[in-house]
Copies of this chain bind each other. A is one copy, B any other.
């Protein structure tokens, strides 16, 4: 069967990206879609539009709503949910490790495990202990991965990835981008993004 491709862009600090990360591989498989896991930093994109904090914090009514919505959505999917004490968490170390691992077979499991620790258990993703335990749990040499993730090459790659995200019109996380440039924002659009990647079109858009 022909395999399709979908790019999954996410910031580790994004709780809706947690919901998408835990669901995406099973859904993708139903449509023979391969997922490219692409961690990036949303901070510079938010900063460019004048936001220096999460919109959950900048707009309190919106923030209160989203925490409640996340609890409901997690219950719907049967996923545990616990907000981390400090939000948004600093995701810089995590995204560097994600980019260092590079190999999609490692980035996906690392991302899911770190998302689960952060938003399923409320742990602090910027803690070296948390990062190390996640890496060790996947059979990865944690000390080496963390050290190498701070290399100039990884830093350059992070800048390039974040610039690509901005130039392709990303403004939030999670975002799904198909090979033909169709952009879908939010966990709510995951199913539609996968269907689009597999060649399906809604209604009269055929």
User: What residues of chain A have their CB less than 8 Å away from a CB belonging to chain B?
Assistant: 49, 58-59, 61-62, 64-65, 68-69, 71-78, 169-172, 183-185, 188-189, 192, 201-205
Q: Which residues of B contact A72 (CB under 8 A)?
A: 192, 202, 205
In angstroms, Cα B186 to Cα A65, docked, is 12
Q: Please give 11 more A-B residue pairs, beta carbons under 8 A apart, in addition to A61-B170, A75-B205, A76-B203.
A: A49-B58, A49-B59, A62-B172, A65-B171, A65-B185, A69-B189, A75-B202, A76-B192, A77-B203, A78-B203, A188-B188
Q: Which residues of B contact A203 (CB under 8 A)?
A: 74-78
Chain B nearest Cβ from A2, distance in angstroms: 23
Chain B's closest residue to A170 (CB) is: B61
Chain B nearest Cβ from A87, distance in angstroms: 18
Q: Which residues of B contact A58 (CB under 8 A)?
A: 49
Q: Can you list 5 A-B pairs with a CB-CB distance of less than 8 A?
A: A49-B58, A59-B171, A61-B170, A65-B183, A71-B205
Known: A76-B202, A77-B203, A203-B75. A183 touches B62 (CB 8 A): no
Q: Which residues of B contact A71 (CB under 8 A)?
A: 205
Chain B's closest residue to A201 (CB) is: B75
Chain B nearest Cβ from A113, distance in angstroms: 22
In angstroms, Cα B62 to Cα A192, docked, is 18
Chain B's closest residue to A175 (CB) is: B65
In angstroms, Cα B171 to Cα A59, docked, is 9
